[in-house]
Structure formats: structure tokens, C-alpha cells
């Protein structure tokens, strides 16, 4: 009978007991050792397996058990990498002592680390967590959501994908924290991160019938038009301008309003700067006319002004006296 040690690694993010058929076979047929009690240990015992908890170093107990055949080590949530290294070094020094095999009883599905993000934010926003986060409200966090979104935008413009990954994490933090705070709302007003994700999933399925309902895709323009039609039915809006974010920068706001009107086939009469009663409204009318002209030229006025402003900033820095 060959000595064999099976290191059984499972995902800590899945419900206890969700194991592959091969993993269930090995824990039912052979003795199982582990480092601590856990929900997974309980589930394995309830399935009829013999599980022993080992105090201290498990290397020798595993080798002793393997002398009688196959033994399984049920790894903890962190995977017990230190034990695996120790066993590997011991077996390398003493060839023939036993064979070691790594088996995955379950593994993280895509997006599993999102569960970690939810758990961490729940801990921080719960009693005994971070006082600052517990003191926040949706309104107090509003500026941070904008700030993190702008930083993600900067990373995109800079083509810095490493920075973008980090900045999107900061945006995600805001999303998860807002959802966690919503759990503290009065009864009837509460919602959770699952409500946020569920609403997103339902919306994407409804608005992409060419993917989920067998509708013929057509051109990109047809897909966009279909999206807008479905959105209009969902929102039951009174105006083509309903739903525009009014707090966005003024140039972007003006562009989006003119875009919406154009898509609806509406003629927009721009205010004339000459007939405005004061300097501020004259300036506003002139800027709106510039936005309209940019649209006609297929230019993004927000992007254009940002580029010129940053170029000017570089020139200012270059002209500053050097220390």
C-alpha cells in the first residue's frame, strides 16, 4: 500500500459542503486530518467522513497516517501553504517516504473576491468597526464618489491600466459602502448590495434581447436604438431630457442636453448672447453656442477645453521660477 498525502484545498467563499465528486470520494474513503474545526469540517463529518483535528505541526501526523495508505489533509481557508512547503521539503529530503498530491475540492468562481469586498466593508461599517465609515451617510459620501470616478477617468485618459485597476477598486469601495449604509435605513427603505447587483442583472437582460432573448442583433446603431426604446418604456419619462445627471460639469451637461434633443428630432433655438440682460447670461449663451458648434463639428467640448487647459497648466509650470 503506497503512502499518499492528499492536500485538499477548497474555496472559502463557497458554502461549506460544495465539493467536487472526486473530493467527496477521497474524504469518504480515507482518513481526514485538519488544523481546526470549521463549517466545512462539520459538513464533511455529516457526510460520514472521519475527520481528526491536529494541534500544532501536522507534518509528522500526516506522515504517520500515510504509512498506512492514503490520508487527506483538509486545508484551512488560507490554503495552508506553510504546511505544504514543509511537507514538500521533508519529502524531497527523504524520497520514497510518501507521495504528495494537491487536489482542488472547489475553487473560486469569477467575481468571488467581490464577496470578500462585501465582507470587509460590512466589518468596517458594523459596530466595533471603523468609526469614520460608521459615521457616513449617502450625502456625506457623495463627493468621494465623484472624486474617485474622476481619478478613474484620469487613469483611462493616461492609458494607465494599472492605475485604472486601483481606481476602479476605489469606485467599487464607494458602491459597496453605500449599499452597506442602506442596510441601516428605516424598515421599508432598506436595500442591500444584492439588490444593487440584482437590479443591474435584470436591467442588462432586459436591454440586451439580442443576447438573452434571441432577437436578431442587427447593426450597432440598431442595437443602440433598441436599447433606447426599451429604456424609454422602463422609465416612462415625460421628457427626452429626463434622467440626465444635472450635477455633471456644465459643458458635458450642455452637450448631453443637445444630444438628447437631436436624437429626438427636436429643433433647439439657442439663446442669443446679444439680447441677454447681463454679462453672466451673455457668457452662458456664448458658451452654449460654442458647445453647439462643437457638436456640429463632431468634437467633444469638455475634452477640448480640458486638453487646452492642461496644456496651459504645463506652460505655467514651465514658466515658474525654479528653486
Per residue in 79-106, pLDDT tens?
899 999 999 999 999 988 999 999 999 9
- With respect to residue 285, please indicate whether it lies within any of the assigned structural domains: yes
Residue pair 279/226 in contact by the 8 Å Cβ criterion: no
Band (78; pLDDT cuts 50, 70, 90): confident
Identify the pLDDT of residue 31: 95
Please give the Cα distance from 304 to 113 (Å, whole number): 38
Does one domain contain both 187 and 197?
Answer: no
* pTM for the predicted model, two decimal places: 0.73
CATH of residue 34's domain is 3.40.1010
Does one domain contain both 22 and 98?
Answer: yes
Identify the pLDDT of residue 29: 94
Average pLDDT, the chain: 92
Question: What is the arrangement of strands in the sheet containing 51-53, beginning at the earlier edge strand?
Answer: 51-53, 32-34, 70-74, 4-9, 99-104
CATH of residue 169's domain is 1.10.287.1080
Q: Residue 230 above 70 pLDDT?
A: yes
Please give the Cα distance from 41 to 75 (Å, whole number): 10
Structure-block grid coordinates of residue 295: 457638436
Q: Residue 249 above 80 pLDDT?
A: yes
Mean pLDDT of the 132-154 span: 95
Sequence-separated (6 or more) residues with CB below 8 Å from residue 133: 121, 124, 125, 177
Does one domain contain both 121 and 177?
Answer: yes
Identify the pLDDT of residue 75: 93
Mean pLDDT of the 44-66 span: 92
Residue pair 90/124 in contact by the 8 Å Cβ criterion: no
- With respect to residue 50, please indicate whether it lies within any of the assigned structural domains: yes
Give the residue from 83, 104, 125 where a domain finishes: 104
Number of compact structural domains in the chain: 4
Structure-block grid coordinates of residue 321: 521660477
Q: Residue 154 above 80 pLDDT?
A: yes
Mean pLDDT of the 20-33 span: 95
Percent of the chain scored above 90 by pLDDT?
74
Q: Which domain holds residue 75?
A: 4-104
Q: Which of 38-52, 83-97, 115-129, 225-239 has the lowest mean pLDDT?
A: 225-239
Identify the pLDDT of residue 291: 94
- With respect to residue 242, please indicate whether it lies within any of the assigned structural domains: no
Relative to beta strand 4-9, strand 99-104 is parallel
Q: Which of 172-176, 197-201, 260-264 has the lowest mean pLDDT?
A: 260-264
Does one domain contain both 8 and 83?
Answer: yes
Does one domain contain both 49 and 122?
Answer: no
Does one domain contain both 72 and 148?
Answer: no
- With respect to residue 304, please indicate whether it lies within any of the assigned structural domains: yes
Percent of the chain scored above 70 by pLDDT?
100
Q: Residue 247 above 90 pLDDT?
A: no
- With respect to residue 24, please indicate whether it lies within any of the assigned structural domains: yes
Identify the pLDDT of residue 227: 83
- With respect to residue 43, please indicate whether it lies within any of the assigned structural domains: yes
Identify the pLDDT of residue 238: 76
Does one domain contain both 149 and 184?
Answer: yes
Does one domain contain both 211 and 138?
Answer: no
| DSSP letter (8 states) at residue 99 | E
Does one domain contain both 54 and 125?
Answer: no
Residue pair 291/301 in contact by the 8 Å Cβ criterion: yes
Q: Residue 69 above 80 pLDDT?
A: yes
Does one domain contain both 115 and 100?
Answer: no
Does one domain contain both 99 and 29?
Answer: yes
Q: Residue 125 above 90 pLDDT?
A: yes
Q: Residue 53 above 70 pLDDT?
A: yes
- With respect to residue 244, please indicate whether it lies within any of the assigned structural domains: no
- With respect to residue 241, please indicate whether it lies within any of the assigned structural domains: no
Q: Which of 203-212, 237-246, 255-264 has the lowest mean pLDDT?
A: 237-246
Does one domain contain both 96 and 34?
Answer: yes
Give the residue from 236, 259, 292 where a domain finishes: 236
Amino acid at each position: 500500500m503506497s503512502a499518499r498525502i492528499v492536500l485538499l484545498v477548497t474555496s472559502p467563499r463557497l458554502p461549506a459542503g460544495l465539493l467536487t465528486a472526486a473530493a467527496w470520494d477521497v474524504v469518504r474513503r480515507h482518513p481526514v486530518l485538519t488544523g481546526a474545526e470549521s463549517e466545512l469540517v462539520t459538513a464533511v463529518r455529516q457526510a460520514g467522513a472521519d475527520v481528526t483535528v491536529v494541534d500544532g505541526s501536522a507534518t509528522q501526523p500526516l506522515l504517520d497516517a500515510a504509512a498506512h495508505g492514503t490520508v487527506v489533509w483538509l486545508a484551512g481557508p488560507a490554503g495552508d501553504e506553510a504546511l505544504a512547503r514543509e511537507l514538500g521539503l521533508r519529502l524531497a529530503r527523504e524520497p520514497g517516504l510518501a507521495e504528495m498530491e494537491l487536489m482542488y475540492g472547489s475553487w473560486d468562481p469569477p467575481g468571488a473576491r467581490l464577496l470578500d469586498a462585501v465582507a470587509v466593508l460590512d466589518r468596517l461599517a458594523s459596530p466595533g468597526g471603523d468609526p469614520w465609515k460608521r459615521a457616513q451617510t449617502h450625502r456625506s459620501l457623495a463627493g468621494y464618489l465623484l472624486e474617485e470616478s474622476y481619478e478613474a477617468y484620469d487613469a483611462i485618459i493616461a492609458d494607465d491600466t494599472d492605475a485604472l485597476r486601483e481606481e476602479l477598486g476605489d469606485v467599487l469601495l464607494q458602491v459597496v459602502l453605500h449599499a452597506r449604509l442602506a442596510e441601516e435605513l428605516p424598515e421599508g427603505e432598506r436595500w442591500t448590495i444584492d439588490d444593487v447587483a440584482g437590479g443591474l442583472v435584470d436591467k442588462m437582460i432586459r436591454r440586451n434581447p439580442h443576447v438573452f432573448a434571441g432577437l436578431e442583433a442587427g447593426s450597432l446603431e440598431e442595437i443602440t436604438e433598441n436599447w433606447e426604446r426599451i429604456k424609454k418604456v422602463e422609465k416612462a419619462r415625460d421628457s427626452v431630457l429626463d434622467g440626465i445627471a444635472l450635477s455633471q460639469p456644465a459643458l458635458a451637461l450642455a452637450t448631453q442636453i443637445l444630444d438628447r434633443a437631436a436624437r429626438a428630432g427636436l429643433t433647439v433655438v439657442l439663446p442669443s448672447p446679444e439680447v441677454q440682460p447681463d454679462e453672466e447670461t451673455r457668457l452662458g449663451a456664448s458658451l452654449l453656442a460654442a458647445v453647439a458648434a462643437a457638436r456640429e463639428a463632431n468634437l467633444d467640448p469638455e475634452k477640448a477645453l480640458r486638453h487646452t487647459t492642461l496644456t496651459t497648466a504645463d506652460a505655467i509650470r514651465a514658466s515658474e521660477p525654479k528653486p
